[in-house]
C-alpha cells in the first residue's frame, strides 16, 4: 500500500484506502452471456449463480427477462435458489420489460435507458424530454412493485454531461435506489470517466459499468470508485460484449492488494473462473491476471531460483489468496536450481554435474519449441543418472470404433510382464479406450485425471496431435505428453504412461488381477 495516494492527491478524488465498502454487481449471466456464441442453460446459470453467491458477490444480474421464455426460465432457476445476493434482471426502458422481470420473481431491476444523443434519437427514436419522463414513470412503476431499482444511462460516456445529470437526477427523484454510469462502448479515458461520474455521485448512490475496448476498464472502475462510486458492475473472466466487461477479479485484487479493500471472497474466484470458462466455452487466456494458467507459474531459471529462495520474489501476492497454487515448470529457460527442485520432487538424487547435464537436455527440448513434461524430465534423468527403469505397464495394442452406435474400444496391455485384454465403451472413442484400460489395470488405474489438453501441431485433418495429461494418485502427480496422428491412441498412451509413472514405487499387489 502506498503512503500518499495518487487518487487522494487529486482534489475531486478520494484516497482508495479510505473507502469502507465497495459492492459488486456481477453481470456474467447477462452482459457476459451477450459475448458472441455464449448461451447458458438454466442448470449452468444456477451453478454459476451459486458460485457467485459463495464468493460473496452482492448483486447478480441473472439475465434479461425480455429476451424470451427460455431466458425467463434461466432467471427463475436463479431466483429459486434463494441466494444471499440480490438477484436482478436487465430491462429496457419499457414497462413490459419490468413486467417480464416481475414474472421471474427477481429482487430488483436494472433499467437501461438511452443516455447519449445517438441512443436517444437514432436508436430508440425518442426525444430528450420524453426519455426523462418515461424514465421517471418506469422507476415509479418498478418501485410500486417493490423492486430494487438501478437506472443505467446507456452510452453515458458519450452523453452530454448536463443531460446525463438531468436524467440521473430525475431517476433519483422518482425513487430509484441507485444510478449507474455506463461506458457502454468502452470509449472513455479516465478523464471522461471522472467528468461524468463525479457529478452523478452528488445525486445519489452511484454504480459504474465499464468495458475494456481501450484496455482501460479496470482503471476506469478505480477512477469511478475514487470519484465516489460504491458499486462496480463487471463479469468474472471479463467476458462480455466485444472486448468484454471489466473483470471483477481484477478490480477485486487491485482493491485488495493495492488498498486493503475486500469487495468479494477472492479465494473462490479461481474455481468460479474455471466453471464459467467451461460453461461458456470461452477459454481463459494463460496470461490473464488472477485466473490465467501462467499467473503463478514460473519457468525461467532466474525466477525459479528466486522463488525457491523466497516465495514472494516474483509474485505480487500469494496464489492462495485467489484459491490457487504456485507451479514451477521446466523449459528452454530452466536453470540448475529449478531442475534440482523438480528432480527432488520426484525423489531423484543427482549430483551437480548430473543436474547440469539434465538442464542442458531440458533446454534442448525447449529449443525445439516443445513443453517439457514430467515424463520428459524423468526419462532424461534416468538416462543421465544411469538408472535403468523397467516399465510396469505398457500399451501393446488398441482398437476403437465409433459411429452411429455406442463407441467401443478394446486394449491389450502388459502388466508386470503379463498380458491382459479388456474392452469398454464410453461417450466417445477416447472415453471408451480409457474405460478399457481401467478394466485391464483394475486398482492401478485409480488415478485422477486432473487435466487433459490436446494441441494440433498442424491445422489439417491429418495433423499430428499432442495430448498432454496431468494425473495424480495420492500425493503424487505427473504430466505426460504423447504425439500421434491418432488422438485416441495418443490419449491412451499418455494415460498409460502416466499411470506407469505413478505406480512406479508401489508394491506388486497393486497390479494384481482383481
Which residues of this protein are in contact with ligand ACO, per CB under 6 A? 31, 34, 64, 66-67, 92-94, 112-114, 123-124, 154, 184
Nearer residue to ligand ACO within complex by CB, 24 or 296: 24
**How far apart are CB 43 and ligand ACO at their closest, in Å?**
21
Nearer residue to ligand ACO within complex by CB, 114 or 234: 114
Q: What is the DSSP letter of 228?
A: T
Nearer residue to ligand ACO within complex by CB, 195 or 241: 241
Instruction: With both helix axes pointing from N to C terminus, report the angle between 69-79 and 95-103 in degrees, rounded to the nearest 10.
Output: 50
**CA 382: distance to chain centroid?**
38
**How far apart are CB 63 and ligand ACO at their closest, in Å?**
9
The helix (run of H) or strand (run of E) holding residue 426 is none
Nearer residue to ligand ACO within complex by CB, 34 or 219: 34
3-state secondary structure of 12: coil
Nearer residue to ligand ACO within complex by CB, 64 or 466: 64
**How far apart are CB 147 and ligand ACO at their closest, in Å?**
17
**SS3 sequence of 233-248:** EEEHHHCCCCCCECEH
- Interior angle at CA 410, CA 405 and CA 414, nearest 5: 170
**How far apart are CB 244 and ligand ACO at their closest, in Å?**
12
Return the C-alpha cell found at 166.
Answer: 438531468
**How far apart are CB 92 and ligand ACO at their closest, in Å?**
4
**How far apart are CB 191 and ligand ACO at their closest, in Å?**
22
From 437, 472, 476, select the one nearest 452 (Cα to Cα).
472
Integer angstrom CA distances of residue 505 from 133, 341, 386:
77, 20, 18
Return the C-alpha cell found at 355.
Answer: 543436474
Nearer residue to ligand ACO within complex by CB, 132 or 322: 132
**How far apart are CB 72 and ligand ACO at their closest, in Å?**
11
Nearer residue to ligand ACO within complex by CB, 123 or 453: 123
From 264, 190, 259, 256, select the one nearest 227 (Cα to Cα).
190
**How far apart are CB 152 and ligand ACO at their closest, in Å?**
8
Long-range CB contacts for residues 426-430, cutoff 8 Å, separation at least 24: 428/402, 429/400, 429/401, 429/402, 429/488, 430/400, 430/487, 430/488, 430/491, 430/492
Nearer residue to ligand ACO within complex by CB, 64 or 235: 64
The helix (run of H) or strand (run of E) holding residue 339 is helix 336-345
Amino acid at each position: 500500500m502506498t503512503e500518499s495516494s495518487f487518487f487522494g492527491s487529486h482534489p475531486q478524488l478520494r484516497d482508495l484506502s479510505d473507502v469502507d465498502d465497495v459492492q459488486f454487481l456481477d453481470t456474467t449471466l447477462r452482459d457476459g452471456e451477450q459475448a458472441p456464441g455464449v448461451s447458458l442453460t438454466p442448470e449452468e446459470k444456477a451453478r454459476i449463480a451459486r458460485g457467485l453467491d459463495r464468493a460473496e458477490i452482492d448483486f447478480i444480474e441473472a439475465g434479461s427477462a425480455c429476451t424470451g421464455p427460455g431466458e425467463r426460465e434461466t432467471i427463475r432457476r436463479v431466483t429459486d435458489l434463494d441466494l444471499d445476493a440480490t438477484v436482478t434482471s436487465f430491462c429496457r426502458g419499457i414497462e413490459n420489460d419490468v413486467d417480464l422481470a416481475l414474472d421471474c420473481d427477481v429482487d430488483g431491476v436494472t433499467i437501461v435507458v438511452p443516455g447519449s444523443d445517438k441512443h436517444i434519437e437514432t436508436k430508440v427514436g425518442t426525444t430528450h424530454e420524453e426519455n426523462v419522463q418515461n424514465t421517471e414513470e418506469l422507476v415509479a412503476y418498478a418501485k410500486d412493485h417493490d423492486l430494487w431499482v438501478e437506472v443505467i444511462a446507456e452510452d453515458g460516456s458519450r452523453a452530454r454531461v448536463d443531460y446525463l445529470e438531468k436524467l440521473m437526477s430525475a431517476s433519483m427523484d422518482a425513487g430509484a435506489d441507485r444510478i449507474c454510469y455506463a461506458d457502454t462502448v468502452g470509449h472513455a479515458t479516465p478523464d471522461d470517466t471522472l467528468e461524468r461520474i463525479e457529478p452523478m455521485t452528488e445525486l445519489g448512490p452511484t454504480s459504474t459499468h465499464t468495458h475494456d475496448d481501450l484496455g482501460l476498464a479496470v482503471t476506469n472502475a478505480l477512477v469511478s470508485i475514487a470519484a465516489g462510486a460504491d458499486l462496480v458492475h463487471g463479469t468474472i473472466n471479463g467476458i462480455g460484449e466485444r472486448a468484454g466487461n471489466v473483470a471483477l477479479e481484477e478490480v477485486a485484487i487491485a482493491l485488495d492488494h493495492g488498498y486493503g479493500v475486500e469487495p468479494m471472497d477472492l479465494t473462490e474466484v479461481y474455481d468460479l473462473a474455471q466453471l464459467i470458462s467451461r460453461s461458456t466455452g470461452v477459454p481463459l487466456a494463460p496470461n490473464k491476471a488472477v485466473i490465467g494458467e501462467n499467473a503463478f507459474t514460473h519457468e525461467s531459471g532466474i525466477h525459479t531460483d528466486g522463488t525457491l529462495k523466497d516465495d514472494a520474489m516474483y509474485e505480487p501476492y500469494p496464489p492462495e489468496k485467489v484459491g490457487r497454487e504456485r507451479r514451477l515448470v521446466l523449459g528452454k529457460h530452466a536453470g540448475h536450481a529449478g531442475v534440482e527442485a523438480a528432480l527432488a520432487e520426484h525423489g531423484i538424487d543427482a549430483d551437480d554435474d548430473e543436474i547440469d547435464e539434465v538442464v542442458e537436455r531440458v533446454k534442448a527440448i525447449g529449443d525445439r519449441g516443445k513443453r517439457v513434461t514430467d515424463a520428459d524430465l524423468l526419462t532424461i534423468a534416468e538416462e543421465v543418472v544411469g538408472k535403468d527403469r523397467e516399465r510396469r505397464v505398457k500399451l501393446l495394442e488398441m482398437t476403437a470404433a465409433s459411429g452411429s452406435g455406442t463407441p467401443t474400444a478394446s486394449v491389450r496391455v502388459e502388466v508386470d510382464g503379463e498380458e491382459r485384454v479388456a474392452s469398454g465403451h464410453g461417450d466417445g472413442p477416447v472415453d471408451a479406450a480409457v474405460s478399457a484400460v481401467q478394466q485391464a489395470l483394475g486398482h492401478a488405474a485409480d488415478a485422477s485425471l486432473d487435466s487433459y489438453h490436446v494441441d494440433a501441431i498442424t491445422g489439417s485433418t491429418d495433423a499430428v496431435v499432442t495430448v498432454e495429461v496431468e494425473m495424480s494418485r495420492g500425493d503424487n502427480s505427473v504430466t505426460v505428453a504423447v504425439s500421434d496422428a491418432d488422438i485416441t491412441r495418443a490419449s491412451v498412451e499418455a494415460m498409460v504412461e502416466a499411470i506407469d509413472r505413478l505406480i512406479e514405487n508401489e508394491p506388486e499387489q497393486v497390479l494384481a488381477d482383481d
